[in-house]
Every structure is written in C-alpha cells, then in structure tokens.
Structure 1
Amino acid sequence: MAIANDQGPDRDEGRRLATATPRPEARRGRGATANPVGRFEAARRDAFDDGWEADAPSPLRTEVRAERSASVIARNTSPDIPFDRSLNPYRGCEHGCIYCYARPTHAYLGLSPGLDFESRLVTKPDAARLLARELAAPGYRPDTLALGTATDPYQPIEREHRLTRAVLEVLAQARHPVGITTKSDLVLRDLDILAPMAARNLVLVAVSLPTLDPRLSRRLDPRAPRPDRRLAAMRTLTEAGVPVMVNISPIIPGLTDHEIEALLEAARAHGASRIGHALLRLPGEVKDLVADWFDEHHPAKKERAFALLRQARRGQENDSRFGHRFKGEGPYAEMIRQRVRLAGRRLGFAFGRMALNCQDFRRPGAQLDLF
C-alpha cells in the first residue's frame, strides 16, 4: 500500500491512470472490471492489449492520500434519506462493491469511478478535530449523525488510520447520537465505545448484507468480510447491547432478490432487530460498471436483471426522482416491498431507523454543570 500526504489527489495523475484498465490478473480481488475516465475529463482513451506485455502484471496496489477539509459534516434535505447530516472519514472504498452508488463521486477528484474508486483512496485526518469544532458551534442542534453513508467507515485502511474510532470518541464524549452503516466486523473493535453509547440510546449499527452466498459476495464486494462474519458481528453487537439493523441492500433483480426471506431469517437469528432495504441504483457511471461486471461474471443473468430494473425505474436503468430512487415503482418494486414487509412482520422486525437520544448532548468544550 502506497501512502502519500498532501492537499488531495493530483488531478493530472488521476487523469493519466484513469485511462488504463489493468489486465484481469492485475485486478484480481477488485470489484470493478474497468477503469473508465471520469465524466468531467476532456480526453478519453481506449486501452487494449497489443500482446507485447508477456510477463504477468503486478497486482493493482492501493494508494492512500490525505485531504485537508474546512468542514466534515455534510447536510442533505432529501426526503428519501432518514437523516439530515452525515460524515465520511474516507473518499473511495477498498471494499470494492461494484454497485456502490458513491462511485461517481470519484470523478470530482479527477479519478475514475471504476478501479480508482477502490484503489486510490483519500483520508480526512482532521475529521475528529473538525467534528468537535462543528459540534461546539453555538448554533449547532444535535440529531442523529449518519456515519458511513457513502463509503464504509470500517474499510480495511481504518485499521491503520483509526479515523472512525477518533470520530466515535468525539461523539461519545459529546453524547451525540450516531447511526453507523458498515459491511465490516471491524466495528467490533470499537465495542468499548459503542456499548456505553448504546446504554444511553446513542447508537444504531446497520450491517449491510446483500447476499448469503460467499462466492457471490466475493465478486460483489470482494474486500468486505464474508457474509458469515457479518452475521457473527450482528450477534456480538446484540449481545453487547448495541441495537442492530440489517440492510439487505442493494436488492439486485434476478441475482439476489430470491434471497430476501433467507437474509432476514439469518439476520434475525443473529440478533438484528430492524430492517432496511433498497433496490439497486445505477446513477452516473455505475450503470456501465455494473453492466461490465455482469458481462464478466454472470452474462446469462444480465438481460433479466436489467429488464426487471427498467420495469421498476419507469423504463430506464435509473430513476433519480425523490421518493423513488431507493424503492422504485411498478409491479416488481411493489412485490419486493411486500416480501420484505411480510417476512419482516413474521420474524418480528421493526422497520427503518430508530429514534436516538438527542437530549443528553454536551457541547464539546462547554463547561459542565456542577452537581
């Protein structure tokens, strides 16, 4: 893993690397099968194998750069999202989930939403300090902070950089509510913070689990922990008193939709008490990346998958309208909703995110009351 420390990615270097897609041997263990140029770049090139590279190519390495930010809390007003503020300590995600709707954001850095997104990562080393400063602002009003909405806060580089842990330490000290979304059992490392927060109703952990099939998972999200490890993490979190939601997201038509009931049964057996779900989204460059992925891994299922998706997206692969982006509409989307609802009720799940405690908030740096 190569590490640099500067003010952010070099756009010219990003532009150069984004034009070349490594050979299959070099990208083994990665999610994307291509590395297309970002949509904001003026020049485009097509890479091809001319047969001169006889030696086996070196594996694609992960590079990490630091970014200096002025603020760290992102705000949104979307009616589709059950929170109005979020924080992501990292840009890009080494888990390599092919379906990740955050992939197009790498184009803003002059990088590719394809392989660059999972191999050229950006850290925010000042995240905890900036968070404390923003929470301490006189006009700040507490509400659930979503951690890991775009990229996983417990992706592999968190083991070294520990930015998520530093953010949680700030939130715990401030008694600020947080909702965590992750695919990783690395979240268990921070049980010493999460369990006391849970005792004050300050935390909910959502574990994403789109499939129980380890072979399919290896291709969908190649560097995320196996499904059985995510289930084990649910059990450990629950036993420690931390409430767990299972996110069966994304539901991929014709590929994972048959697993809905089995996913919910497994998650419930491992302690999950709430459900979240979303139909596959294909914004921006994700559409072509997913299409290429199907061509390489499941060509016989591609036509059906995209046909069902278009049925739920008004004849298109993607529908960006508020209220429809995550759930879709039409007979297929309604069938998915009914299956989730019926199975969830049968198993005793609650639906959606829970209300967390905003009443005990203590502004960082403020003098505490004396009792």
Structure 2
Amino acid sequence: MTSSTGALRPLLLGLGIMLVAFNMRPALTSVGPLLDAIRTATGLGNVGAAYLTTLPVLCIGLACTLGPVVIRRLGADRGVLLAVAVVALGSGLRGLGGLEPLFIGACLAAFGIGLSGVLLPGLVKREFPARVGLMTGLYTMVLCLGAAAGAGFSVPLARATDSWSFALGLWGLPALMATLAWIPFARRPDPAERAVRRRPLWRDPLAWQVTGFMGLQSSLAYILFGWLPVVLQSRGLDATEAGFVASLMSIGQAPFALLVPSFAARAKDQRLYAAALLALAVMTILGLVFGPLAFALPFGMLLGGSLGGLFGLGLTIIVLRARDTAGAADLAAMSQSVGYTLASLGPLGFGLAHDLTGGWGASVALFCLIAAAAWLCSLGAGRNRTVGTR
C-alpha cells in the first residue's frame, strides 16, 4: 500500500499542480470582456478602468515578495494551499457587486495568484528535477487554458445570469475545487526546508536581467488581458465577438506554452527563442489594431501563441538560471515581485496613452517599446549561466 501510494504521488501531485495552475488567470482575464458592462453599470471612467487592470498586477508583484517567508513559515506545499484559497476568496468576493467588492476581490485574487506563481517553480524543481521543461510547459499550458476560459465564458455567463458581478464571482468555484484538491498535499515542511536562508540576489546582474525579461514580457500579456477586448470593440466588434477573440488569444497560448519550455530547456541558449516570440507579438498586435478585422481571429491566435511561449520561456529561464531548489524559489521571488510590479505599469500606461490621445497609436507604440526592452533583457537572461556565479 505504501509503495503503491508512493508511486502514485508524482502523478497526483502533478494533477494537483495543474488544478492550481488553471486558477492562476481567470480572475485576471474575466474582467476585460466585461469592462464595458462594468463601466456602464457603475460609471467607472477610463482612468478607473486603467486602475482596475493595473492594481491586480501590482498586487501580484507585492505577493511575490512574501514567497521566501511563506516557504520558511509554512513550507511550499502549505503555501500553495494558502495561495489558491485566497484566489477563491477574492474571486468569489467580486460576486457581491459594486466597485468596492470588485476592486478588493480583484486585488485579493491577484495576491493569491502572485504567491502561487512564486511557489510552483520551486515545487517543480524539487519534485520533477528530470522533467523541468515538460512540467513547466504542462502547467503553463493549463494556466493558459484557464485564461482562455476566463476570457471566453465571462460574457455568456453575464448574459445568462443578467449580472456581470455574479459572472465574475462564479470563478471562485473552480478555485475552491482546487483548494479542496490540494489539501492532501499540504504536508508539514521538512526542517531543512524551513531552515534555508537564501542568498540575496539584488547585486547579481543576471538576476536583474531575468527579472527584467520576466516583468516586461508579463507586461505585454497584462496589457492585452485588460485592453484587447476594449480595442476590438472600438474597432467595431461587439462584446461577444471581442471576448471570443480574446479567448482564442488565450487558447493560442496553450500549444506554445507547452512546446517552448520543453525545447528551450534542452537548448544551451534561450536568446533566439525570446527574439522570435517578441517579434511575433509585435507583428500580430500591429495586425489586430491596424489590420483588417477579417484577420482578427488568426492574428489573435498567433498573438496568444507568442504570449504563451514568452511566459513559459520566462518560467523556464527562472528554473534554468538557478542552481538548486532554494535558488529557484529565491530567483522566482525576485523576478516576479519586481517583475510584476514593473508589469503593472504596462496596462496603466496603455490606458492613459489612449485616454490622452483618443486613439490607439501611442498605446501600440508603448507596447512595441516594452517588447524591445524585453529583448534587451533576454540577451543576458537567455545565456547559459546561473545566478550567484560569475
């Protein structure tokens, strides 16, 4: 019985990680398709909408700073349980209606998302050291499918229930299911795990390059999670059509999110992957904003592929640039705390640029500048080196 349970544990743990990963994006991607309905019902202006898409990303960054503390106090396994429970609470809170529950719930859910994002890379390195690329790709793919579900089903749910807030609150249910499913894995931390004191990385240039790449490529994704449906509706698509394109963008992330980490983990150098994916992101956003709407669906799928590949590549680089499990958690905490704080400025800047100019040209130019900065960071982050060495 014991040996059978031990043999099944990696499979069950892997499934548990996938359930947690599924809930790391719907709280973020479900808002964009409903943003016009929220603004109509609550009187939320353009600046308020920009803050609604920015504050959760900032909360993700703040939560990431607590990763090492949570590992020492609770252990990574119990930390994941706490994180996904907070996602469930925050997502459900949005169902109460009104701006206060919406903002508070969004920030709470984002806090749980940020905490789980720091803990999962270390768990993968600890539990699946020989399959880092495969497991990173799998949970990134499932994460992208969760993003697609949030983008694609939120408008139909709102219309079926005649309530945007109830539709947002329903996303607390899959997070609650993941919380219950993770309970068997919430074991006590090993004394050695709690005793680890991680080396500071703030003076390590490579750590900063990884942080810059992670934050800037995430900024591109969060810009599009929050603003792509609005852009498409301004071009003439209705809310359902715009949500469908956003959902396809998220679905398009899945195959790239699976394949890019698997191939990149085997390569000696990840710089070419970063350059190709960033170029694809720039070309497809230009096509969506300025090209014919007849090509919105294929452009959306390709844009999603670039974003999914970049996110999977960023997570893979974190694991590859670390020498051990503790180093992976440390680098994940730094790159995601600082990185997501940096990423939070993207949606805000994108929205403010539109508000100031009345068009999308300046906003798209900002997107391209962020992509160029991410490429510059990838020149260092993609090298075959590890943090803490020269």
Task: Write 1 or 2 for the structure with the bigger share of strand.
Answer: 1
Give the TM-score, by structure 2 length: 0.26
Higher relative contact order (CA 8 A, sep 6+): 2
